[in-house]
Amino acid sequence: MRVITLISCLSLLFCGLAAHPPHSVGAEKLKAALAQGKKTAAPGKSAQTTPAKGKAAKKKPAKASPAETSRAKGAKPAAKAGESALPKETAASRISASLSAPLSLNLEADVPEKWKPLAQKLQADPKGAPDLGLWFRGLPDYSPQPMGEKIKELFTRDFMRRPRVDDGKRPPPSRIYRNVVTEVNVQKCREFLAANAKAFEAVEAKYPVPRNILVSLLFVETRLGVFVGKENAFWSLACMAAADTPEKVRDALAGLPIKAQHEEWLQTRLKSKSDWAYAEMRALLLFCRDNGTDPRILPGSVYGAIGICQFMPSNLAIYGEDGDNDGRVNLFSETDAIFSAARYLSKNGWKKGIGVEVRRKVLKRYNNLNIYANTILALAESIRSGTLQTGPPPGKRKR
């Protein structure tokens, strides 16, 4: 019966991600490994989740990346009269339900050979804990792909980006993600506000961040919990942490014009990003241990951001908040995500009465892109005013 319960629970989890199916080798292997029905007993405590977020450590808050946001599909036709624009269930809601069900993966198997260096490093780490290495049991194999994606992004930025030439024929670059600020999406945000009215009333009584800003941020990040990531956050971060030399990532860099003169750059970048990923992975495992959550089932962005509000693991203990007072921080819970995002913005400078430029500056602490902050401001103003905005509210002009 325990195996049947596990399979049913996992089946529910992965069906919830069908709207945005896993595409990487690691995600597929994770899905296959968990579907085998291995029993579990999570190491460490059993409670669940606490404070988190932001670009102050992330991407986001390390967050869903703006690249993911910009690739989001356009809005669907408006809902018919009497029909809700919001889905009855989201990937986040199904994941949240599965996290409350006790899982019991079999931890008797040895840690895979390729993961032993990381497991041993965690066990010896004074900032870690001896039992954290146990989570590598049952984790899918190492892949160079996560680090490869990051190196391609950095290489393109540093060596291949050409300055934009204004030939008068191309339209000016958009100041907002226009496929985000639409009538249909404004309606979805309004319905989300209505469905979570008590949570927004409570959060506004505690923090100075307006509800229209919060709902707009959550929409830009994950479409209000519809898209919470296509990878396993632990696996992605572990792969990046392990990819600390050029030899470990060469296969994922095929086609990239890396020459001999780039080798020093490559080694420096790999060392920096693998150290960053290790620290984020350690933070995620400590957080999951202290909250009774199996990190091997947590979806996230390709770089490890998790939840409806897409916090990076290093921000979980700082900004994550138990908004619904159930004794744990669960960023796949709407209420906890609302409170955590508000806490993050408040702690990073959001105050009552601040102007547009200061609002933009605070939002860029979440994700350091002007178009990201502008989109949130434009969507929030559309919700507030009832008039669809074509750009962000204008700030004060410098004299």
- Predicted pLDDT at 28: 46
Inform me whether the pLDDT recorded for 153 exceeds 70.
yes
- Predicted pLDDT at 79: 58
Q: Residue 222's pLDDT band (boundaries 50, 70, 90)? A: very high
Question: Taking the mean position of all CA atoms in its chain, how far away is CA 95?
Answer: 14
Inform me whether the pLDDT recorded for 71 exceeds 80.
no
- Predicted pLDDT at 46: 34
Mean pLDDT of the chain: 80
- Predicted pLDDT at 165: 61
pTM for this one? 0.74
How much of the chain, in percent, has pLDDT values that exceed 70?
A: 71
240-253 mean pLDDT: 95
State the Cα–Cα distance between residues 17 and 10, nearest whole angstrom: 11
More confident position, 98 or 213: 213
Q: Between helices 211-222 and 197-206, what is the axis angle to 10°?
A: 120
Give tens-digit pLDDT for 331-377.
999 999 999 999 999 999 999 999 999 999 999 999 999 999 999 99
Listed by start position, the domains of the chain span 2-161+174-385
270-292 mean pLDDT: 95
Give tens-digit pLDDT for 284-308.
999 998 888 889 999 999 899 999 9
Inform me whether the pLDDT recorded for 3 exceeds 90.
no
How much of the chain, in percent, has pLDDT values that exceed 90?
A: 57
242-257 mean pLDDT: 93
Inform me whether the pLDDT recorded for 48 exceeds 90.
no
- Predicted pLDDT at 12: 40
DSSP result, 304-358 = --BTTTTB-GGGHHHH---TT-SSS--TTSHHHHHHHHHHHHHHTT--TT--HHH
- Predicted pLDDT at 132: 86
More confident position, 297 or 278: 278
State the Cα–Cα distance between residues 153 and 256, nearest whole angstrom: 11
**Mean pLDDT lowest for which of 21-30, 160-169, 244-253?**
21-30
State the Cα–Cα distance between residues 147 and 336, nearest whole angstrom: 30
Nearest-Å Rg of the Cα atoms of the chain is 21
- Predicted pLDDT at 171: 60
- Predicted pLDDT at 280: 98
State the Cα–Cα distance between residues 31 and 22, nearest whole angstrom: 9
For residue 398, what are the contacts with CB-CB under 8 A and spacing of at least 6? none
Exposure of 384 by Cβ count < 10 A (0-12 exposed, 13-18 middle, 19+ buried)?
middle
State the Cα–Cα distance between residues 132 and 343, nearest whole angstrom: 28
**Mean pLDDT lowest for which of 170-184, 289-303, 373-387?**
170-184
